[in-house]
Chain A
């Protein structure tokens, strides 16, 4: 092999503390090096041309550039050598800036170190092989998991671009948490008025296929070619026949069922449609409450249904969909406020969560939009909001800020003053966090125009007195103890990842943080991608955010999918594991350790079992390589030979 070495001076960044000329001269002594020089800015246009010229003049077959970190310019130089006709993997970069010239001012030691680093790169390069990408076709369908506002936005944007969308929603209707809200901050838009039309669009768009009351059962495959098993949970109603007339829900005798949509504030029937604007507007039987399922006889709905849609014998069904990309928009759940025993959430009927209060405010809620205490149905005279319930509190394992509570408290207090002008509204807060557009103005308006009384501090205890509640706490700004007699206490519960988020992450092979929020590929520069190619994030599943941010991320995820699908094939990274079949002993250890399911069995003609790498799934971590007992599986471009060549260059 004929190797060329180019030592970059990087202006003075390297040349000040490394004798680049000496490094280049020394490089000529290394095996296979036929050309070595130093240059002012190797990454510049003329610098790259110099490399390309040298490749032609000296018939070079491999290039080492000693310059900055490969994390910075490896792609630049690979393109440059490729333009000169070399394979882009016949290139190595020695990091003599970040790891050498910048961390010591000892010129002699740095120069020695730079020589070693160049030597290591040369020795590795001698084992490099040209690698070639393969191209695989893309299945231009997208799966959206979750039918909240983030998922709806992603689905609509994709469908508008002409893509086939498969949407999977766990509940029997799409709409997510936003559908439960009465109004949205800071504009006091009616939530269902702005979300409703979008939900209808999903139902009416021919490009969107909606699986409601369904969950993801399994995911296999890779970017461009995922195979997804979807479990259609038994609704006990034939949705093709059901017209959503609602007769069954009127006549169902099991009337005291927990109303999930209304957060348990009211009751509902065992066969129900969650709310009037539900999409799809189809009935669904809750088997935990249905008299037929619990007691063995009833079937009133079956007798009444005008279209004979009831199917008590229905079972879960698994359907398989093939898609090319996946948008995860699984949203959030709310913190369980009963963890704070001192506040009596779940114990005192008039201590409710903010989402329950939202249902009280809603015209479609259990009280028809009139604010009434759950205990006795009276209109409250004094309401206290407590902020940061399950936010910014390490003692309950939720040290992060949920980001939306300060704003929805201001909204709910404002709405309350509108509904009940005589009602006193108190807010206990830690800090007010209102960093969005028009957000702080909104909070100020609640305080100044609506007379909501904010006090900074923490409430220590809530206890009943007669039919009212005593809220005891401290105002830390005034430095006094506070005691408020309230009719109703609203706990501003924070956000936590959706129930089942971790299980889904494991099916999708994406990572999640300590709390279960999905990890983006880069916190700043790749906020929508995950580390599994072809899986994108949208909405609160990635971290707490409000509606505008969720919608924004939904559109961003859709844009990523559109960009991926604008090509017909995808180029695979050839730096993947490769099995030398003759050495493979078929132990299957690589299959066990692979975090991506990228290795599968392959049966040869003689019947023996060997490992086979799915190039498109392999992410190139090399875990299999380190695991393989006979070292039959090798990570291309980072083989054992290459690493040991570097070790030998140092210790030989």
Chain B
């Protein structure tokens, strides 16, 4: 965790974003339309709803070497599908507590609520999370220490 020497701030890290189509993906679009500058580490995967988010997607990304995983969806009560983000919230909370058990720093995972109109908030979320991941540095590489394919069998 304190391997700051391993990563200079300039070095690009790998952050995977899972964004719900209706709110946060739109919020990220809004941030783009408004030209709110953001770090370039994030790569976004579009999902219909955070309720679609299987915690294993995040776990697999982190095991395979992602340096951070960011999940974002509609604000509670604003879910396009009424309740999807409530399920997501519970799952993400459980996931957060589970990550240390498999040797992953909880700081590498974050979930947030950003609506389609909150471009500025999205910029802030991306900035903060990217900075946090840069502080943590590159993923020490669980995938190099364990047999990933075999361990994924467990899930």
Give the docked Cα–Cα distance between A513 and B79 (Å). 11
- The answer to whether A652 and B64 touch (CB under 8 A), given A112-B12, A647-B16, is yes
Given the known interface contacts A623-B81, A625-B52, the answer about A71 and B25 at a Cβ–Cβ threshold of 8 Å is yes
Number of interface residues of B (CB under 8 A): 43
* B47 A95 Cβ-Cβ under 8 A: no
Q: Smallest CB-CB separation from A652: which chain B residue?
A: B64
> A-contacting residues of B (Cβ < 8 Å)?
12, 14, 16, 21, 25-26, 28-29, 31-33, 35-40, 43-49, 51-54, 57, 60-61, 64-66, 77, 79-84, 87, 91
Given contacts A102-B33, A626-B51, contact A651 B77 (CB under 8 A): no
A120 at the interface (CB under 8 A from B): yes
B54 contacts A650, C-beta separation under 8 Å: no
Residue A640 at the chain B interface, CB threshold 8 Å? yes
- Name A622's contact: one of B26, B43, B51, B82 (CB within 8 Å): B51
A651 touches B14 (CB 8 A): yes
B-facing residues in A85-129 (Cβ within 8 Å): 95, 97-100, 102-106, 109-110, 112-113, 116-117, 120
B52 touches A626 (CB 8 A): yes
Q: How far is the CA of A341 from the CA of B16 in the complex (A)?
A: 54
Whether A622 pairs with B47 at a CB distance below 8 angstroms is yes
Q: Which of chain A's residues 58-103 have a Cβ closer than 8 Å to chain B?
A: 69-72, 95, 97-100, 102-103
Q: B14, B38, B45, B61: which has the most chain A beta carbons within 10 Å?
A: B45
Q: Are A621 and B40 in touch, CB under 8 angstroms?
A: no
Q: Are A98 and B28 in contact, with the CB atoms below 8 A?
A: yes
The residues of A with any CB-CB pair to B shorter than 8 Å are 69-72, 95, 97-100, 102-106, 109-110, 112-113, 116-117, 120, 509, 511, 513-514, 531, 575, 593, 595-596, 619-623, 625-627, 635, 638, 640, 643-644, 646-648, 650-652
User: Which of B21, B38, B39, B45 is close to A646, meaning CB atoms less than 8 Å apart?
Assistant: B45
Closest Cβ of chain A: how far from B17's Cβ, in Å?
9
Pair B32/A98 contact, Cβ less than 8 Å: yes
Question: Do A650 and B61 have beta carbons less than 8 Å apart?
Answer: yes
Q: Give the residue of A106, A623, A650 whose beta carbon is less than 8 angstroms from that of B51.
A: A623
Report B-chain residues with C-beta under 8 Å of the C-beta of A106: 40
Given contacts A643-B47, A643-B57, contact A619 B81 (CB under 8 A): yes
Minimum distance in angstroms from B120 CB to a CB of chain A:
13
- Residues of chain A with a CB closer than 8 A to B65's CB: 651
Task: Contacts A595-B84, A626-B53 given; indicate if A647 touches B14 (C-beta within 8 A).
Answer: no
Decide: A651 and B40 in contact? CB cutoff 8 A: no
Interface contact B81-A99, CB-CB below 8 Å? no
Could you tell me the distance between the alpha carbons of A647 and B61 in the complex, rounded to whole angstroms? 6
Within the complex, what minimum Cβ distance (angstroms) separates B55 from chain A?
Answer: 8
Rounded to whole angstroms, the CA-CA distance of A274 and B76 in the bound complex is 42
Known: A98-B32, A626-B53. Is A621-B48 also a contact (CB below 8 A)? yes
Taken together as a complex, chains A and B put the C-alpha atoms of A120 and B12 apart, in Å, by 18
